[in-house]
Amino acid sequence: MRSVIFLVLAFLLFTTLTACYGQRQSNRPGSSSSQTENGENGENGENGENGENGEELPTIIDLAGPPEFTDEVEASFTFSCSQDDCTFQCDLNDTGFTTCESGVTYFDLEEGEQVFQVRALDASGRQGPEATWEWTVDTISPLVLGLDGPADPTNETDATFTFWCSLFTCQFRCELTEATAGVISATRPCDNGETYSGLADGQYTFRVYAVTPEAEGPAASWTWTVDSAAPQLLELTGPDSPTLETTATFSWSCDQTDCSYECTLTGTNQGTLFAADACESGLQLDGLANDDYELTVLPVNALGTRGAAQSHGWTVDTTTPEVLLLPGEFIEDMATFTIGCDTPDCDLECALGAGSSTPSGFVPCQGPTYEIQGLSSGTHTFALRGTLPTGATAVATHTWESSFMEWATVDNGLGFSCAIGADETLWCWGSNTQGKLGIGQGAPGTSSPIQVGEAAVWSQLSLGNDYACAIRTNGTLWCWGANSYGYLGLGDTQTRGTPTQVGSSTSWTHVSAGYSHTCGIRSGELYCWGYGLGWRLGTGNQTSQPSPTRVGTASNWSYVSAGRNHTCGIRAGELYCWGEGTLGQIGDGGESSRTQPSRVGTATDWTSVRSGNSFTCGRRSNGTLWCWGYNGDGSLGLGTVSNASTPQQVGSLSSWAEVATGNSHTCGRRDDGTLWCWGSNVTGHLGLGTAGGNHPTPQQVGTDTDWATAGIDRSSCGIRDDGTLWCWGSNTSGQLGVGDTTRRTAPTRVLMAQ
């Protein structure tokens, strides 16, 4: 009984598997066709014949029947028509067409090849082409059934096949070939579950034969392609880094067709924003917050092979920089700023423009201090722009008015200097001992010019050791500073910290302050006052005078110069000197003092005279320069260090325009605008770029040819044609006016803070 049940179950299983085998046509050559005299018809009869009127003939579609090899002696066929309302005619093995329907079945088929044909007739009776199905009935040979293997194509390099036999006593033989390499595994015995491993890329065909002692059945084959190459991501591009943009767009490509992609986005601060999401080239991310991002793209080919991921990192930073722009000093044609940015990766650029508008033309610049020189007079705007690597920028500006001080005259005293501007304002700088700067007793000294009062009324000035005198444009005389011997001319010996008027006269035309005495001219009359020792006042005695005292009765004095302990003056072109003469400084050939003005030589063409420490220099109308007196340091410019008791010409030139004498050196300006200095250079006050030694002949100061005037003492100052003021030499008290107390050995410009 069990044997009968087993045989029934086996028959049912065999019938089911045979039906399944017949449906696996994707890996089998087709066994149905539709033929006409003019060629094949497609599935919808696109290439079939047309009727006499050009109408399309009915065509058989969806024809299905038994598998290519079968041991079944029955065969059923299904089919349909390309048109509605068709009828069908069928033929088996050329026995003649008869009317039939889909599902027609033939029984008791003989061994061997079988051919089934079917054709359709439309409602008008027109006959379409035949469709054919061919198969073999073999009830003796064993058949391979249910062959199954890898997908086609596949990226798997291992292949396993399952199959069984139409008979119970079958054995199997298998072989594997590759389209290019040929036989990979020769025909050999095998079993269901046959596996091949480590297959290289290529197109393979697996064949399996069912074998019994009596016969070998036809081969069943399985063809597929192994493609294990991983896809490669190409040309992944994204935003620059860092960037201000909160939108990011990416593009990429793949070296294989039909790739798909998985994208993962992470942010340093936000973590994973999405992971392994399906994505495509052209991916756009919007609304990104400030963070460091990384987008990872992984390619997957059509077989599911995953390639190597690539990443693009970038930083979104919408922060704008904060720039620091602090105005510093504004000194005439120079301005300084403190500049910076709140982040170290900020690139600074600077621009300067005229007027109050933000300038263009930014150029790279560096802080913390930025200095601008060579400014013209007028309104200027300085702009600082900071730019982050993201491109974010910030701009700060400062606008100011630049003006220039034009100077008219300058003089030096002991540790201080004063000058009058072209606008007739009075300025002093250096030591303020005993109030000699005119800004009040007790006020600190200054290394930069400070205005004396607010009046713009000054025309001429002269500095002594620790005091100064100046004439206003209304002819009044004013003095200030130390006053030990009454040399301020105020009738007493009290110090004055601010300019104080000397008497009430309004006819003063010239004043000269010496070391401790003063002389001045008003209405052609000569007056002297102060310390009288050595007859320096020219009054015939050595009595000190605290108020202006007339010298003689002459009323044609045009020039006067008070030195250390002697005085010289000019009237009607004649030169007169008086006071201490032991070193030949009087110039009349003797070395004794003169109690009153004594004529120097017979010349009548003297135009100016300057009395120094114990020497004198004067200029004649023919442009010649003459010096006499003490010459131990070469201050006479004669090429020697010997004293001279009479005027000696300095060189042979007749082009001297002006001369100024100091404590131990002399400077003169020539008609060509060149400046020359000689004598002691112990503190660099000759302006030659060095300090030390004596120079007994005139030495040119630089190469400039635009000097207009000079005033010297222990330091030197000069004014150029453009009105700029320059000083050099000793600077222990800030008397050079350059903002510090460092000695200068060459002319240095005195700049005015704005």
Sheet holding 594-599, edge to edge: 557-562, 566-571, 574-579, 594-599
**Burial group, residue 374, by CB count within 10 angstroms (0-12, 13-18, 19+):** exposed
| Encoded tokens for 744 | 């200068």
Task: Compute φ and ψ for 95, nearest 5 degrees.
Answer: -90, 0
Instruction: Specify the pLDDT at position 20.
Output: 35
Instruction: Specify the pLDDT at position 50.
Output: 60
**Burial group, residue 2, by CB count within 10 angstroms (0-12, 13-18, 19+):** exposed
Amino acid, single-letter form, for residue 311: S
Instruction: Specify the pLDDT at position 11.
Output: 39
10-residue stretch averages of pLDDT, the chain, 754 residues long: 34 38 35 41 42 78 92 93 95 96 95 95 94 89 93 93 90 96 95 96 96 89 93 95 95 94 97 95 97 96 92 95 92 90 94 92 94 89 94 94 91 96 97 97 95 95 97 98 98 98 98 98 98 97 98 97 97 98 96 96 98 97 98 97 98 97 96 97 96 97 94 90 95 96 96 77
Question: Reduced to 3 states, what is the DSSP secondary structure of residue 2?
Answer: helix
Instruction: Specify the pLDDT at position 54.
Output: 64
How many CB atoms neighbour CB 274 within 10 A? 12
Among candidates 649, 639, 592, 644, which has minimal Cα distance to 615? 644
Alpha-carbon distance of 543 to 83, in angstroms, equals 152
What Rg do the C-alpha atoms of the chain give, in angstroms?
60
Task: Compute φ and ψ for 21, nearest 5 degrees.
Answer: -60, -35
Residue in this structure with the two tokens 């135009």, named with its chain if needed: 607
Instruction: Specify the pLDDT at position 21.
Output: 36
For 426-454, the DSSP string reads: EEEEE--GGGTTSS-TTPPPEEEEEESSS
Sheet holding 323-331, edge to edge: 323-331, 334-341, 369-372
Strand-strand pairing, 87-92 and 98-100: antiparallel
* 737-738-742-745 Cα dihedral, nearest 10 degrees: -90
Residue in this structure with the two tokens 């991921």, named with its chain if needed: 309
Cβ neighbours of residue 51 under 8 Å, at least 6 residues apart? 57, 126
Question: How far lies 39's CA from each of 31, 33, 96, 131, 143, in Å?
Answer: 17, 11, 22, 12, 34
Strand-strand pairing, 171-178 and 182-190: antiparallel
Amino acid, single-letter form, for residue 63: L
Contact 238, 314 (CB under 8 A): yes
Alpha-carbon distance of 209 to 191, in angstroms, equals 11
Question: How far lies 38's CA from each of 35, 42, 195, 571, in Å?
Answer: 8, 13, 47, 144
Instruction: Specify the pLDDT at position 101.
Output: 96
Contact 114, 136 (CB under 8 A): yes
Alpha-carbon distance of 745 to 699, in angstroms, equals 13
Alpha-carbon distance of 667 to 661, in angstroms, equals 7
* Paired residues of 506 in beta bridges: none
Half-sphere exposure of 584 (CA within 13 A, CB side): 16
Alpha-carbon distance of 278 to 497, in angstroms, equals 90
Question: How far lies 511's CA from each of 224, 440, 558, 708, in Å?
Answer: 121, 22, 11, 20
Amino acid, single-letter form, for residue 574: E
Instruction: Specify the pLDDT at position 23.
Output: 34
Q: What is the DSSP letter of 744?
A: E
| Encoded tokens for 505 | 């006269």
